[in-house]
Amino acid sequence: MSSASESRQAKTIDELRTFIKKVLSDPTVAVKSVEIARKYRNEQNANELIAREISANTTVRIPEQWSEADRMFLDILHEVLDDEAALY
């Protein structure tokens, strides 16, 4: 693994650790994030709309230039909604 790749991976892990701490300290973050994702799921620019509203309504900040961790979080939100839809 190259040094640049290791550095990116370390940054992603650090961002995810910060996010997990926010979720654990404020359990409403997860609920609000899923509700917001559900609201915009079928929109053309769903990820942008989801990121913007999560940033405006929770302690999670998703910048305009998404990191790998930001993308991973948005992907996981979609997976949760897919799992939810599969239950019905």
Note the pLDDT of residue 35: 97
Note the pLDDT of residue 41: 94
Q: How far is CA 43 from CA 17, 47, 48, in A?
A: 29, 9, 10
Residue 1 has pLDDT above 70, yes or no: no
Residue 11 has pLDDT above 80, yes or no: yes
Question: CB neighbours (10 Å) of residue 73?
Answer: 21
Check if the beta carbon of residue 33 is closer than 8 Å to that of residue 60.
Answer: yes
The structure's pTM equals 0.84
Tell me the pLDDT tens digit for each residue of 13-35.
Answer: 998 898 889 888 998 999 999 99
Which range of residues forms the domain containing residue 55?
A: 3-87
Specify the number of domains making up the chain. Answer: 1
Tell me the pLDDT tens digit for each residue of 43-54.
Answer: 999 999 999 999
